[in-house]
Structure 1
Amino acid sequence: MTHETIGDYKTYSLAGTDQEVRFITQVLKLKPGESILDLYCGYGRHAIELAKQGFNITGVDGTQDFLDIAIQKSQEANVSITFTKKDMRELDYSENFAAVINMFAAFGYFTDDENANIIKLVAKALQPNGLFLIDLLNRDWMVRNNLNRYWRHPSGECVLSYKVELENGIATMKRQLINQVTGIKTQYEFVLRAYSLPEMANIFSNSGLSIIATYGGFDGRLYSSETPRMIILAKKNS
């Protein structure tokens, strides 16, 4: 899965990461030293900045290439983070974390049953009254807006374009990767299940989680059908 390539690392590092991490810390309201699981951490953008603020961070991702970059950048930043390669369907934590974050549309890549079970595993990983912050694309907004994109890969060697087609809650993302050095083009596609807010609320309820806030962006705006993101903050039922 290539969730983190939804943007250029360097661009987000300069322009977006500060705002995103500020939002994360403001809504979670945790104290330095508390533990956070960055579920599908990608290149470690959020994990590294949160570690700089004194949080005890564990980063999990299913792609070793992403983790290699994250490890390198955490070393450059002189922060200690536990990075682990693991499929999110195989989480095996038990009340280890005060919070779990899942950012940048990294959820919905499996069957409905598997996706629902992932949320149960997240709830199991949370300490009593722990918080889960999940950032999703807003399905209602996607229906009315063009999601075609073009960006440069962090390596600087490749550019990537993609087109998104949404039908019956299923987003099909068609991608083309162009290596600017060799000229080789690679085309592929994958499917993302785009959930509505009521659907997510039902999944959470069945997992022992309760939604306590929903946002439409990292600026803290409230969620609506007009916001491109659906960022949900949920709490584990004690």
Structure 2
Amino acid sequence: MDEQRMWWEELFQIHEFATYSDVAASLTNNEVDFLEMILNLTPDMRVLDLACGNGRHLLGLARRGYHVDGVELATPLVNQLSAQITAEQLPARVIAGDMRKLDDLGMYDVVLIMNSSLGFFSDFEHQQLLNDLADHLVPQGRLVLQCINPYQISSYMQHYRRGWHQVGPGYVLRESHFSPTTGTIETAYRYIEPDGGQAVHPGERIRLYTFPEWQQQVQRAGLRLQAVFGDAVLPIVPFDETSQWQILMAMK
């Protein structure tokens, strides 16, 4: 990951969540409640959180006594998360690396890919990643994959297409559009500093898949789809025509 992208990761994953810490804490607590319930987690299980970012889910689960490994590419996030794990003496660790290169990892009872963290690569790479994850799941191990539902992209984009919001001392302008020919959300960001200085994001592209497409990819990886939910909250939200999210749970 180049220095410019790492700067943006630090801005969004550290400073943005600090700016909106109360909202982030409430969201994380609700999502961890959801994961505990649907996975019927027990303290002896090993959990892998891929593209763990600032560690919202990793820390939330580890604070409840679960053993969690995280994989994250951005060095500033790895450093901060490692320091936090050490300071709190949590049963967790964070591994610096690309989520597409999992050879050195062991076996897990649960693998999490939350908040549309899968979709930044090619179709072939996404399938290969799912294949590799299946190899790192124990028998009857489970994968939880949270991603945007493209059938409701118009509803999702009403709140996401364009807007300013404060991050730290400055403001971020977000401009997004969905390309139906490629099935991708493409987003540009610009950060305005208090002194008028600006930083421009190199660009973000997320491939969205429909539920039938995800179902096929999961099955090709040798996993059996168990359930799909409309949001990562409790009480359970069914996946239907109004759902902006799709959360798939599959078993090896």
Q: Is the structural similarity TM-score above 0.5?
A: yes
Residue 178 of structure 2: aligned partner: 166
Deviation string, structure 1 residues 158-210 (Cα, Å, up to 9, x no partner): 43332221122111111112334673332432211011000000000100011
Residue 68 of structure 2: aligned partner: 57
Q: Which amino acid aligns with 1:233?
A: M
Structure 2 residue ranges without an equivalent (≥5): none
| Secondary structure in 2 matching 1:123 | helix
Deviation string, structure 1 residues 75-129 (Cα, Å, up to 9, x no partner): 3433132111111111125661000001111001010000111111111111111
Residue 8 of structure 1: aligned partner: 17
Q: Which amino acid aligns with 1:223?
A: F
Name the CA distance, whole Å, in 2 between partners of 1:215 and 1:3. 30
Pairs within 5 Å for 1:24-35: 24-35=35-46
Residue 45 of structure 1: aligned partner: 56
Alignment match of 2:99 (pick from 88, 105, 112): 88
Residue 248 of structure 2: aligned partner: 232
Alignment match of 1:137 (pick from 148, 151, 157): 148
| Secondary structure in 2 matching 1:205 | helix
* RMSD of Structure 2 on Structure 1 (CA): 2.3
Pairs within 5 Å for 1:139-158: 139-144=150-155, 145-146=157-158, 147-148=160-161, 149-153=163-167, 156-158=168-170
Q: Which amino acid aligns with 1:20?
A: E
Residue 88 of structure 2: aligned partner: 77
| Secondary structure in 1 matching 2:203 | strand
TM-score (ref. length: structure 1): 0.89
Deviation string, structure 1 residues 55-75 (Cα, Å, up to 9, x no partner): 111010111111122123323
C-alpha contact (below 8 Å) 2:85/2:93 kept by paired residues: no
Q: Which amino acid aligns with 2:200?
A: T
> What is the CA distance between 1:5 and its match in structure 2?
3.3
TM-score (ref. length: structure 2): 0.84
- The number of residue pairs the alignment matches comes to 234
Identify if the C-alpha distance between structure 1 residues 143 and 4 changes in structure 2 by more than 3 Å, giving closer, same or farther: farther
Q: Which amino acid aligns with 2:248?
A: I
C-alpha contact (below 8 Å) 2:105/2:136 kept by paired residues: yes
Q: Which amino acid aligns with 1:229?
A: W
Structure 1 residue ranges without an equivalent (≥5): none
Name the CA distance, whole Å, in 2 between partners of 1:189 and 1:52. 34
Percent identity (aligned): 22
Q: Which amino acid aligns with 1:235?
A: M
> What is the CA distance between 1:137 and its match in structure 2?
1.1
Name the CA distance, whole Å, in 1 between partners of 2:169 and 2:103. 36
Identify if the C-alpha distance between structure 1 residues 130 and 185 changes in structure 2 by more than 3 Å, giving closer, same or farther: same
